[in-house]
Amino acid sequence: MHADIGRILISREQIDRRVGELAGEIGRLYADSEKGLFIVCVLSGAIIFVSDLIRQLPMKMRVGLLAVSSYPGKTTQAQPAHVLQSFDLDVTGLDVLVIDDILDTGGTLRVVMDRLAAMRPASLRSCVLLRKSGKARGGLEADLVGFDIEDVFVVGYGLDYDGLYRNLPVIAVLKPELYG
Which residues of the shown chain bind ligand 5GP in the complex (CB under 6 A)?
A: 45, 70-71, 78, 81, 100-109, 153-155, 159-161
Check: CB of residue 113 under 8 Å from CB of residue 98.
yes
Q: Which does 159 bind (CB under 5 to 8 A by kind): ligand 5GP, Mg ion, none?
A: ligand 5GP
The 10 Å Cβ neighbour count of residue 8 is: 15
Omega cis (within 30) before 44: yes
Tell me which residues in 13-72 interact with Mg ion (CB under 5 A). Answer: 45, 70
Which of left, alpha, beta for 20 (phi over 0: left; psi -120 to 50: alpha)?
alpha
Tell me which of 95, 104, 114, 148 is the catalytic residue.
104
Q: How far is the CB of 68 from ligand 5GP (least distance, A)?
A: 7
- Burial environment of residue 57 by CB neighbours within 10 A (0 to 12, 13 to 18, 19 or more): middle
Q: How far is the CB of 33 from ligand 5GP (least distance, A)?
A: 26
Instruction: Quote the least distance from Cβ 112 to Mg ion, whole Å.
Output: 9
* Dihedral (CA of 72, 66, 44, 99) sign: positive
C-alpha to C-alpha distance for 127 and 141, rounded to whole angstroms: 9
Work out the end-to-end distance of the chain between its first and last CA atoms, rounded to an integer number of angstroms: 16
Q: Which does 29 bind (CB under 5 to 8 A by kind): ligand 5GP, Mg ion, none?
A: none
Q: Does 156 bind Mg ion (CB under 5 A)?
A: no
Residue 106 or 121 having the CB closest to ligand 5GP:
106
107 touches Mg ion by CB under 5 A: no
Active site (annotated) includes residue 104:
yes
> Which positions touch Mg ion (CB under 5 A)?
45, 70
Catalytic positions are 104
